[in-house]
Each structure stands twice: as C-alpha cells, then as structure tokens.
Structure 1
C-alpha cells in the first residue's frame, strides 16, 4: 500500500511550555511520509526560542515565524500555502499525537470513499501537567456522526477538532479557513460537510490539552470575538440551507446562542442572533423576555455564575 504524504501544520501561540512535546510527537510517529510545517503566530512567551532550540536538533522542517499576531485562521492558512501533502492535520502546539495516530488514520482514510473529505477519532483530554482526565466520547450526551453530517454540526458540538485529518482537496476547495473569523472549526465543519462526507474512527489517537479552567469557562466572555464569528457562521448557514429540517437545526442553534449571549452579557451579539432568529421563527415568550431584558442592558451573568457553581462547585 502506498504511503501518501501527510502535512502536519503545527500552529503555536504562547505555548512555550508544550510546543517541544507536540513537535516530538510528530517526529516519533510510526509513519514516515510526513511533512511538518511549524507556524508561530508572534508568540510573546518565548515560544519561538523553544522552537528554534528544537529545530537545532532536527532538519528538513519548515518554520514560519510570523512577526505580528494574525490570529489562528490567518496563521494556519499561511502554513497551508506551504503544504504539499494529500492529507492535512491541524496540530495545536499543546496537543500530542499518539505514536501510531498518523499511520492508523492514513490506513483508515485510504479505505474510505472519495466522497469522504474529513475523518476524526476519539481523543483523551489531559491537564496542563499531562494528567489524563477523560475521553471525549465517554460522555453520554455525545455521540459520533458519520456520512452527511451537515445538519448534525449545525445542531450540536460533537467533533473533537484536534483529532481530525482532512483531505487537502477539501481545504483547497474552501480556500482554507475563513480569515474573517476568530476561530475556525464551526465554520469549517459547516462549509466542508455541505459537499463532503465525514467518517469516524473509534480509537483514541490524540491527547488534547485542557487548561485548568477549561471546564468552568465554556461560556463566552463579554466582548468575545468568537461569539460574533458564530453569528456570522449562522448567517452563512441560513444562506446555504436546503431543507426544512436544516432550518430547524439552525433554529435550535440560534436558541442556544441566544441563551449564551444573554447570560454572558453580550448585548450586541444577542441583537444579531435575535434578528436572525425572528426571520426564521416567531420567538416564544421566553426569548421575547430575554430580548426585553437585553434591551435594558441588564447584567444576567449571575445566572451563569449560579450555574457554574452548581455544576462545577
């Protein structure tokens, strides 16, 4: 069986403590046909020095040190321009590939139909010090979807992004990540799944680093640029939806984002989501109430704090 080239784009931003471990996990793969491209998005914590020290011991690696912070979507696309592999892995500089990940994913991908553009697997979350926490699909509320997952990705979060391997053809077709957005995965899932199928590989192949506060900070912060990016993706979804069931999935997504916006004090984004929601559905009394409270610019973040205290202690 041929060994197609896999391009690993390792994107680093202020991950000096972890970047060498992430890079080592690429170099110790059981699969040989790998192209490693390192992109540092103007880190200020000494990450570039850590990368330089690591590169002094390795050859044949592409390194793109960016002088001013561009954001993850733009920085990734800079690395993508250098990639020549059939398959692409977007590796955060604090995550770790298990030693046989690329070999197993390539073998799995090569058996898929040409319509499959993205595969993903299970992953294990680890703490900042490397302690194993839990596996992604151990949660009862999460389940993997395969095939045409367009409606699923609108409706719910289920893909552990760091586990994905993508055909370069998919990224080329989409012109890479949308550089106008503050984050990439939701938009990528939506746009790619409109034309390509996904496949799930039921193995843990990646260790995904979570910060100490990750489990208690899943809500948006005030002024969070990611929330406005989510709104922009929802506008895209409305324009490319083709069926009533897809519109219903978008309505459920908007209801979720309205609650997120209201209870995180993001009044402007609430307005954006609410106006889009009204174009699709007559708001219920609950969402009309949230809208009235939002117009009064009331701080409802105490609801979130109570929720976090109840759930996380």
Structure 2
C-alpha cells in the first residue's frame, strides 16, 4: 500500500492541469498514489488525466457522472484512498519536489500530531512568484483557526484523523477546507512548519476568485460556530503546559 494518498479534484482545469500533475510526478518521495477525480469536465481535463494514468501506475482516475462540486469530489477520492497519510492538491497549483517528503517526515517524527501545514508561495497565471504565505509556528497557531483559515494549501493529515473527523461537508462548498481543519483542530493537534514547499496559483478562474461572496458567508458561519469551543480547548491545553513548566505559555494566557 502507498504511504501517501493524494487526491486531485478537477473541474475544467485543463489549462494548468499538466503543470499540477507534472509536479506530483517530480516528487522526491516516491511512495504515493494520486487519485484524480474528474468532476464532469467539458474541456478535456478527463482525457489529460487518463493520459497520465497510462504513464504511471500510481495514478488512478475517477470520472464522475454528475458534478459533485469540490467537497463531493474530495469525498469520492478519499473513499478509495489506501495511504496512511492524506493530502490533496488542486488542478491549478504546483507542488515543489520536497512537498510530500517534508510533510511525511514531520508526521513520522511527531506521532501526536494529527495534521501539519507548511509555508507556500503565491504565483500568478504565468507562474511568477507574487507573494508568500509564512507564519511563525507558536503556541497560538491552532487557536487562530477560530478567527481565520490560517492553514494554506500545503498540508497533510493521518488516515486515523480522517476516520475520526469523517467526510468533507458537502453543504460547505467553498469553505469545505476551513470547516474540515476546524473539525480536526477541535479534537486533535495541528502543527505548522516554516518549510516553503508549495505554489498556490492566483487564477482568475478559480473558486477563490469567482465565489468570494459564498466563501465569506460560509466562513463567517464557521467562525460563529467554533470560536468559543476552539479558544476554550486551546486555553485548557495552555494551562496544562504552564503547570508543566513549559516556557512561553504564561504570556499567551495573559493575552
């Protein structure tokens, strides 16, 4: 069985799909499977996916008969995933060669961590770097989920974590990722590392660009629901750390 299952949901992403697929094939960590979920594309994306599947036995393609939207496509992919670690990527983003190796190594070395997130670049439609997502890993990182979706597109979580949390909520289209990270965070541990291992494309045709109103509405609903339980959970953990004499926690508790 592969160590890592990567799901790539795709809907009319032919323009950038090859670059995304090539970046997975270029990974220095070889023990992965890629499950491409073609969600009723009409631009040839499905044919591109099939082409890559004939080139590498680690790639499988699911062709949906109806459009399931992003959370549904993710659920379809992870339903057949066989790996110990799960992640997903997008048809317009590009992973750096050390993407999988970095995340796998961290989870291997930190058995108490449910999910890890990392730094990434922002690129434009031409592939030029236009910014970076970088946060300092500190004891407040997980509590910030109550106020913002502070996990970028470079992440990995455990199969057992997915079994505990369940499926992506198909009613949370456009905020299914934030909702899922919150559910992981409320019952588990999320860490952040500063390694820059991924490139997120600012694409005028992406969901982020075309569904802003829906994203904001769903995000606000999540924040209202989880701020109190998330902050209470993190505060309880910080009190325990302070009692154990772990440096740096008392100042955070006083904020």
| CA drift at 1:37 | 0.8
Rounded to whole Å, the distance in 1 between the matches of 2:116 and 2:19 is: 24
Equivalence for 1:158: 150
Residue aligning to 1:180: 171
Matches within 5 A, 1:25-174: 25-114=23-112, 116-137=113-134, 143-146=135-138, 149-160=141-152, 162-174=153-165
**Structure 2 residue aligned with 1:206:** 198
State the alpha-carbon separation in 2 of the partners of residues 13 and 188 from structure 1. Answer: 21
Give the superposition deviation at 1:111: 1.0
Change (3 A) 1:12 1:147: farther
Residues 54 and 241 (structure 1 numbering): CA distance in 2 closer, same or farther, change over 3 Å?
closer
- The offset of 1:28, in angstroms, is 1.8
Q: CA deviation at 1:99?
A: 1.1
State the structure with bigger RCO (CA 8 A, min sep 6), 1 or 2: 2
| Secondary structure, counterpart of 1:59 in structure 2 | coil
Secondary structure of 2:114's aligned partner: strand
1:131-150 per-residue CA deviation (whole Å, 9 max, x = no partner) reads 1112112xxxxx34456745
Residue 233 of structure 1 is aligned with which of 214, 217, 222? Answer: 222
**CA contact under 8 A between 2:5 and 2:82: conserved in structure 1?**
yes
Does the 8 Å CA contact 1:148/1:193 hold for their aligned counterparts?
no
Q: Specify the SS of the correspondent of 2:43.
A: coil
Q: What is the distance in 1 between the residues matched to 2:124 and 2:231?
A: 41
What are structure 2's unaligned runs of at least 5 residues?
236-255
Q: Give TM-score scaled by structure 1 length.
A: 0.67
Pair member with larger Rg: 1
TM norm structure 2: 0.81
Cα offset, 1:61, TM superposition: 2.0
Partner SS for 1:22: helix
Q: Distance in 2 between matches of 1:57 and 1:242?
A: 48
Residue 189 of structure 1 and its aligned partner are, at CA, apart by 1.9
CA RMSD in angstroms, aligned pairs only: 2.8
Aligned residues, how many? 233
Give deviations 1:18-74, integer Å, cap 9, x for gaps: 112211211221112111111111122221122223233233422101122111111
